[in-house]
Structure 1
Amino acid sequence: MQRTLITGANGFVGQLLCRRLQQAGDHVIAASSPKSGHAPFANETIGCDIRDQESVDRAIRQAEPNRVVHLAAITHIPTSFEVPQLTWQTNVMGSINVLEAIKRFAPECFVLFVSSADVYGAAFKQNVPLDEHAVCQPQNPYAASKLAAETAFGEYFRRGIRGVVARPFNHIGARQSPDFVTASFARQIAMIEAGLQDPVLKVGDLQASRDFLDVTDVCHAYERLLKLSSASAEYPRCFNIASGRSHRIADVLDTLLQMSNAPIAVEQDPTRLRPSDIPYAIGDSQLLRWTTGWSPSISLNETLQELLDYWRGQVAAA
Structure 2
Amino acid sequence: MKHVLLTGANGFVGKVLLETLLAAGYRVSCASTAPHPSPRADFEQIKLDIRDAMACVAALERTKPTHIIHLAAISHVPTSFRDPLLTWNTNVLGSLNLLEAIKQQASDAFVVFASSSEVYGEAFKAGIALDENSPCLPMNPYAASKLAAELAFEQYFKQGIRGVIVRPFNHIGVGQSPDFVTASFARQIALIECGKQAPIMQVGNLEACRDFLDVHDVCAAYLQLLEFSEVQTYPRIFNVASGHACKIREVLDELISQSSASISVELDPQRLRPSDIPVAAGNCDRIHDVLSWQPKISLKETLALLLAEWRLRVVTER
TM-score (norm 2): 0.97
Identity %: 55
Shift of 1:317: 4.3
Amino acid at match of 1:263: S
Question: Which residue number in structure 1 is paired with residue 18 of structure 2?
Answer: 18
Question: Which residue number in structure 1 is paired with residue 190 of structure 2?
Answer: 190
Distance 1:14 1:285, change over 3 A: same
Tell me if the contact between 1:210 and 1:248 (Cα under 8 Å) persists in the aligned partners.
Answer: yes
Question: Which residue number in structure 1 is paired with residue 286 of structure 2?
Answer: 287
Q: In structure 2, what is the Cα distance between the partners aligned to 1:39 and 1:18? A: 12
Amino acid at match of 2:280: A
Q: In structure 1, what is the Cα distance between the partners aligned to 2:210 and 2:42? A: 32
SS in 1 for 2:303: helix
Q: In structure 2, what is the Cα distance between the partners aligned to 1:288 and 1:303? A: 22
Tell me if the contact between 1:22 and 1:41 (Cα under 8 Å) persists in the aligned partners.
Answer: no
Deviates more, 1:58-67 or 1:151-160: 58-67
- 2:130 is the alignment partner of 1:126: no
Distance 1:93 1:188, change over 3 A: same
Question: Which residue number in structure 1 is paired with residue 173 of structure 2?
Answer: 173
SS in 1 for 2:280: coil
Q: Deviations over 1:190-218 (max 9, x none)?
A: 01101111111100111100000000000
Q: In structure 2, what is the Cα distance between the partners aligned to 1:180 and 1:189? A: 15
Question: Which residue number in structure 2 is paired with residue 297 of structure 1?
Answer: 296
Shift of 1:41: 8.7
Q: Considering only aligned residues, what root-mean-square deviation do their CA atoms show, in Å?
A: 1.2
Shift of 1:265: 1.1
Question: Which residue number in structure 2 is paired with residue 211 of structure 1?
Answer: 211
- 2:162 is the alignment partner of 1:162: yes
Shift of 1:42: 5.5
* Equivalences for residues 1-318 of structure 1 within 5 A: 1-34=1-34, 43-231=43-231, 233-318=232-317
Amino acid at match of 2:74: I
SS in 2 for 1:4: strand
Q: In structure 2, what is the Cα distance between the partners aligned to 1:54 and 1:40? A: 27
Shift of 1:37: 5.8
Q: Deviations over 1:253-300 (max 9, x none)?
A: 000000000111111111111111111011001111111111110111
Q: In structure 2, what is the Cα distance between the partners aligned to 1:311 and 1:62? A: 39
Shift of 1:127: 0.5
Q: In structure 1, what is the Cα distance between the partners aligned to 2:33 and 2:41? A: 15
Q: In structure 1, what is the Cα distance between the partners aligned to 2:42 and 2:75? A: 22
Q: In structure 2, what is the Cα distance between the partners aligned to 1:298 and 1:18? A: 19
SS in 1 for 2:266: strand
Amino acid at match of 2:289: W
Tell me if the contact between 1:19 and 1:41 (Cα under 8 Å) persists in the aligned partners.
Answer: no
Shift of 1:39: 5.3
Shift of 1:59: 1.3
Q: In structure 2, what is the Cα distance between the partners aligned to 1:39 and 1:247? A: 37
Q: In structure 1, what is the Cα distance between the partners aligned to 2:12 and 2:42? A: 14
Amino acid at match of 2:92: V
Q: Deviations over 1:127-174 (max 9, x none)?
A: 011000001000000000000000000000011000000000000000
Segments of 5+ residues of structure 1 without an aligned counterpart are none
TM-score (norm 1): 0.97
Amino acid at match of 1:283: G
Q: Deviations over 1:77-116 (max 9, x none)?
A: 0000000000000000000011000000000000000000
Amino acid at match of 1:106: A
Q: In structure 1, what is the Cα distance between the partners aligned to 2:190 and 2:41? A: 27
Q: In structure 2, what is the Cα distance between the partners aligned to 1:61 and 1:95? A: 17
Shift of 1:11: 0.4
SS in 1 for 2:139: coil
Q: In structure 2, what is the Cα distance between the partners aligned to 1:103 and 1:26? A: 22
Q: How many residues align?
A: 317
Q: In structure 2, what is the Cα distance between the partners aligned to 1:42 and 1:50? A: 23
Q: In structure 2, what is the Cα distance between the partners aligned to 1:85 and 1:176? A: 24
SS in 2 for 1:34: coil
Shift of 1:34: 3.1
Q: In structure 2, what is the Cα distance between the partners aligned to 1:60 and 1:293? A: 32
SS in 1 for 2:143: helix
Q: In structure 1, what is the Cα distance between the partners aligned to 2:42 and 2:184? A: 28
